[in-house]
Structure 1
Amino acid sequence: MSTDDLVAIQQLLARYAVTITQGDIDGLLQVFTPDGTYSAFGDTYPLDEFPALVAAAPKGLFLTGTAAVEVSGDTATGTQPLCFVDHETHHMRIGYYTDTYTRTEAGWRLKTRAMTFIRRSGAHDSGIPHAYKPTEA
């Protein structure tokens, strides 16, 4: 595992947190592979649904910690802690992302990102099923 790969993945994850916090959807989409997915709320969403998913979500600060990453050639896996703070209420959601990464011609990108919430009870889950439903075309 090279230090260059770890730094590149850490910067990729920093871009995710900064772009989603700033509402920069175009920048956010650039951290994923074109076939990338995001999983939460009992479903997996392809990248083309991600802008609507983000638009429907509360806005605020995505504060992420350093990810634990394992690199194997041109792929990697990782887990990154998250504390989301709602900008209106300052209520927090805590949890972690479980990721896969792929090295592309443009550098490292997220291939999959799955959210796990940590509840006050101590339970870990992917959220309320069907909290977000894409609009039917």
Structure 2
Amino acid sequence: MSRTDDIIEIEQLLAKYAVTMTKGDTDGVVSVFTPDGTYSAFGEVYPLDQFPILVAAAPKGLFMTGASLIDFDDDANATGTQPLCFIDHTQQDIRIGYYNDTYVRTTDGWRLRTRAMTFIRRSGEHNSGRPHAIPLSGE
């Protein structure tokens, strides 16, 4: 495989994330991660087994992502940053920011190992959000 093939495969993986989040397809979201994958936001790191709760609690709407800037560490590991514009379907409020990712090549192809959200605020501040914004155990 060429580096171009790797980039296309990772871009398709990230497109699947955005489309499955938009559709509320939890299984689809989980499938783009490694079994030890994590998502970080709101001052917390969430393991894969908590993804169904995260997806259910996430606002619903359009997850519109841009092309990821990908840097390859070697043939099996890479990092990337992908811009995001989320539009809430109820009020059409917009949230913008970017994901910082790590990718790993598995026997099933490229997968996300980590995804960390950074929000861009109206003030221009970049941060990961309010801690404990998502209750995971009846909080």
> Given the two structures, how large is their TM-score scaled by the length of structure 2?
0.95
Alignment of 1:70-89 (within 5 A): 70-71=71-72, 72-89=74-91
Question: What's the counterpart of residue 117 of structure 2?
Answer: 115
Deviation per residue, 1:15-66 (Å, 9 max, x gap): 0000110111111110000000000000000000011011111100000000
SS in 1 for 2:124: coil
Cα deviation digits, residues 94-120 of structure 1 (max 9, x gap): 000000000000000000000000000
Query: In structure 2, the residue corresponding to 1:9 is in which secondary structure?
Result: helix
Rounded to whole Å, the distance in 2 between the matches of 1:131 and 1:27 is 23
Aligned partner of 2:60 in structure 1 is 59
Partner of 1:124: 126
Compute the RMSD of aligned alpha carbons. 0.9
The runs of 5 or more residues in structure 1 that have no matched partner are none
1:129 to partner: Cα distance: 0.8
Question: Match for 2:95: what amino acid?
Answer: R
List structure 1 segments (4+ residues) > 3 angstroms apart after TM superposition: none
- Partner AA of 1:68 in structure 2: L
Q: Counterpart of 1:97? A: 99
Point out where structure 2 has 5 or more consecutive residues left out of the alignment. none
State TM-score, norm by structure 1: 0.97
Percent identity for Structure 1 against Structure 2: 65
Q: Secondary structure at the match of 1:33?
A: strand
